[in-house]
Structure 1
Amino acid sequence: MTTQAPQCPFHGNSETRSVDAESVRGSSDQARTTASHDAADYPVADWVDVAELASDPYPTYARLRAESPIAWVPQLNKFLVTNYAGCHTVEQDQEIFSANVSGSTMTRAVGARPMLRKDDPEHSADRAPVNPVLRPKSIKEVWGPVFERNAETYLEKFAEIGPREADLNRDYAAPVASQNLIDLLGLKDVSVDQVRRWSHDFIAGMGNVLDDQSIWDRCDSSTEEADRLLEELIPYYRQNPDASMVSAFANSGLPTSNVTANIKLTISGGINEPQHMVTNMVWALSNHHEQRAQVLADPALWASVFDEAVRWQSPIGMYPRETTRETVLEGVRIPAGAGIGVVVASANHDAAHFGGSAADFDIHRPKRPHLAFGSGVHLCAGHWAAKTSIGQVAVPLAYKRFPGLRVDERRNESWDGWVFRGLTSLPVTWN
């Protein structure tokens, strides 16, 4: 496998570089002073190499879980929490571990503080309008046929490219994920490429910790385009409501700034994870021939393939929290105002929770809860949409159309990132 420099966060190329930069910055001035405290108060993992994390984070995660699952990492200005128990505890206690982290560039990028940077009750108020849109019944009955139509459309284009040139990420996963998001949001008169560009530019802005004006120019330009569209769509959907997310937000009674910030947040993040799950599933099955044969013989196993792939190679690797007061987590004292990195990708490989084969891909693994979609009040609102659009539609239909679909070992693949991680290039072929 060939790897390249970090590239993407919620998605492809420039995004991961941006979000990884945010993690290096740290959460707040208070967090930056944490390193000056007596190191004997808590484990310090000063050996962590950020470049190695971006290339392949899992060896670093394994060492952290073994030596110090809650450790201060000076290079990141954060405490990294890498075991399942610690990550689960953080997710269940928003009073101590707040999502409202200080100094976030996310607010600057999307124009206001979105729900991802809020705790309850503000978080729940922003999220409530779209909960009905994203419930399993709505996803199955309203959006399932849309997802299937989109998959069939891009499988036709994929077939035209052919088995010698096709790249699963570029030619299928990315456009399908983008079109699904366009439809689910209810955006009008926009192209797949335009929405992907917005997503990339918003993410770059969220990670613009060095205050690069060229990045802000890109972000601001895309923000202006998106805001002009929303200025038309919000009043339109107030008069013509439908089942889309923008319609739900438009009729929620929330301030317009909340609505537009949360829509831009959704554009930022709603492409990357579904996109990477398409490639992750195909990559996993291509490298586990016996399990691949079992799935192709028994389509009922597709749900297990999705769930195991999202645990095994989690597209969201880490997200930030900040302590509101001094606390003790898994026996480690953490100061008030400290930045926390909740490393769910590591937690999902914790043998203490998943057993000794936690690092292996196994669709027959005994069912245990994982953290790929988060937990607690911040459980990903779109997880049912992802399971349906990718696990039940996009990937199964790809194998139905191309039963011989597999990684093309004659060409190089590339993985990038650790805060957000995925295949940015996956050449594939078929018989």
Structure 2
Amino acid sequence: MAVTAEVDVAAMLRDPHDTYARLRELGSVVHVPALQRHLVVGFAACRAVEADQATYSADVGGSGATMARALGATPMLRRDDPRHAQERAPINPGLRARSVRASWAPRFEHNARLQLEVLRGHGPERAELDRDYAAPVAARNLVDLLGLREATPEQMERWSHAFIAGVGNLGDDATIWARCDDAQREVDDHLDALLPHLRRHPDASMTSALVNSGLDEAAVRANVKLTISGGLNEPQHMVTNTVWALSRHPDQRDRVLADPALWPVVFDEALRWLSPIGMYPRETTRATVLDGVELPGGAALGVVIGAANRDPAAFGHPDRFDISRPERAHLGFGSGVHLCPGHWAARIAIGEIAVPLLYAALPGLRTDPRRDEAWSGWVFRGLTTLPVTWDPA
């Protein structure tokens, strides 16, 4: 049986890493009654879960049911193979590294430069990186990737926040459902016009790939909404996380500024150290043993990659941000068949374009300690406010 532990959820929302360290000391799989699930906090155990979808299903109750409610149908993220592979196959070719560089990198740079002028316009005394750059850049990129031609970045941000709140609405809050339903109707209104157009005039967008793949329309709509819910959060937070990390490690910031070839390494280490997607659910399909812990069939699991990515059994000095550490795959984008399909888009759009552009355009870019910053979350975690400054021209 798993060790049982209590956690302070409010403290985890502020900063979960002390809790993660305590749980890892108890075992790689810990039962947490307050969260009504077993938390998988060890690196090897998380990898084992993702390697065996026959035993650890993505088609879960609880948050799986709220995701279907939030998005109007069950998307690929809450399906196992072969259905998961069938729904994912249409978008895979367009999200490979070569395709992203050829089709999307110029647009990503255009969006970043457009928003850079907004950030610069606020000046080094008033600029706030999340509001003025990170969130709008991620939203603009997502509008383009999905081909939602009539949608605005502001709408994309609002829809994403509403869907994420709905997916996590285990308390059945009516206000959250009302916001979520409004977002669902608005996205469906856009798709009502867009899907027939894309059937006649296919393009390079993800929505075009989905609608021309032979999938039923409910699956197309659910997976567009899934991409809206998840495709903004991680890229947005990776902009602010990276700047925050480099501001606290000026020696490593100076290294990458002297050698821009290190930017992909910086992105990967920031993703490991400050995992924006901290946890996702799985459910056992049968009685099993995970890293020595007996689990019954139907057990609700939380795969805590935010904890696994700082597991001392996998990474030396894991609580340090260190771009010199030996290369080892982390779990920032998940793993196995559910590895995030947009990982190359995020790496290129943020790690190779949006963040390097900031440092090239704004000499001395750093966080501004004169103004307050704010973090939030552990299931999804990131900076919600990050004041920045730079050297005057």
Fold shared per TM-score above 0.5: yes
Paired residues of 2:27 and 2:42 also in contact (CA < 8 A): no
CA offset digits 1:257-294 (Å, max 9, x no partner): 00000000100111110000000100000000100111
**Equivalent in the alignment of 1:389:** 349
Matched, 1:235 2:196: yes
Pairwise CA RMSD? 0.8
**Equivalent in the alignment of 1:12:** none
Among 16, 19, 22, the alignment partner of 1:60 is 19
CA offset digits 1:359-410 (Å, max 9, x no partner): 1000111001100000000000000000000000000001000021100000
**Equivalent in the alignment of 1:157:** 118
**Equivalent in the alignment of 2:94:** 133
Paired residues of 2:365 and 2:388 also in contact (CA < 8 A): yes
Whole-Å separation in 2 of the counterparts to 1:207 and 1:342: 15
Among 334, 354, 358, the alignment partner of 1:374 is 334
Among 310, 332, 339, the alignment partner of 1:349 is 310
**What SS does the aligned partner of 1:123 have?**
helix
Which amino acid is 1:194 matched to?
Q
**What SS does the aligned partner of 1:354 have?**
coil
Among 219, 244, 250, the alignment partner of 2:211 is 250
Among 330, 347, 364, the alignment partner of 1:404 is 364
Among 70, 89, 96, the alignment partner of 2:29 is 70
Q: CA deviation at 1:133?
A: 1.1
Q: CA deviation at 1:203?
A: 1.5
Q: CA deviation at 1:354?
A: 1.1
Paired residues of 2:90 and 2:213 also in contact (CA < 8 A): yes
**Equivalent in the alignment of 1:91:** 50
Which amino acid is 1:215 matched to?
I
Matched, 1:284 2:271: no
Among 255, 261, 265, the alignment partner of 1:304 is 265
Whole-Å separation in 1 of the counterparts to 2:264 and 2:241: 14
Aligned pairs (5 A) from 1:4-403? 41-46=1-6, 48-103=7-62, 104-355=65-316, 357-403=317-363
Whole-Å separation in 1 of the counterparts to 2:199 and 2:342: 23
Whole-Å separation in 2 of the counterparts to 1:139 and 1:281: 22
Whole-Å separation in 1 of the counterparts to 2:183 and 2:33: 34
Q: CA deviation at 1:110?
A: 0.6
Q: CA deviation at 1:66?
A: 1.4
Whole-Å separation in 1 of the counterparts to 2:71 and 2:2: 36
Q: CA deviation at 1:212?
A: 2.3
Paired residues of 2:281 and 2:303 also in contact (CA < 8 A): yes
Q: Structure 1 vs Structure 2: percent identity of aligned residues? A: 60
Q: CA deviation at 1:209?
A: 2.1
Paired residues of 2:284 and 2:298 also in contact (CA < 8 A): yes
Runs of 4+ residues deviating >6 angstroms: none
**What SS does the aligned partner of 2:90 have?**
helix
**Equivalent in the alignment of 1:22:** none
Q: CA deviation at 1:227?
A: 0.5
Whole-Å separation in 2 of the counterparts to 1:158 and 1:43: 48
Q: Which has the higher contact order (CA 8 A, sep 6+)?
A: 1
Whole-Å separation in 1 of the counterparts to 2:165 and 2:237: 18
Which amino acid is 2:50 matched to?
E
